[in-house]
Amino acid sequence: MVALKFLVGLLVLIVLVVFALQNLQPDVVIEYYFDKKIGPMPFSFALLGAAVLGSIIAALVTLCEQIKLRSVIRRQRKQIVRMEAELLEFKRIPPEPLPDKTIIELAGGGEMPETAETQRPAGAE
């Protein structure tokens, strides 16, 4: 993957150099706010400068996103460790037996649940 990125970068660099060599006429003036100007300069230099500035801005935005995502990952890893420790604590505690009344209520009301021997077959009444 690194070799592919290198080859693509090298190809882009070759294209930019060829473009710069073909466009050396000094006919571009870049005007900023407050009557500030840069130029005249070759069109290829202006285009290359814009590409470099755009790449720097994109790299800064990407860097900020990566820092934010790494902090989220770090926070989630800490939470996972805490939750795993809590799970181990719960596994060590023996379960408390349910009182008989609770078992009867869970089975469907105030009656004792039917066992396999007292259940009637389906359709027999």
Strand partners, 28: 41
CA angle 28, 22, 48 (to 5 degrees): 55
Task: Supply the pTM of this predicted model.
Answer: 0.50
d(CA 108, CA 104): 7
pLDDT along the chain (125 residues), means of 10: 82 81 76 78 78 88 95 97 93 78 62 54 56
The structural domains of the chain, with segments of one domain joined by +, span 15-92
What are the tokens at 89? 């604590």
- Helix (H) or strand (E) segment spanning residue 37: strand 37-42
Q: Where are the alpha helices (DSSP H) in the chain?
A: 2-22, 43-92, 100-108
Tell me the per-residue pLDDT of 7-40, one tens digit each, with 9 for 90 and over.
888 898 888 778 777 777 778 777 777 778 877 8
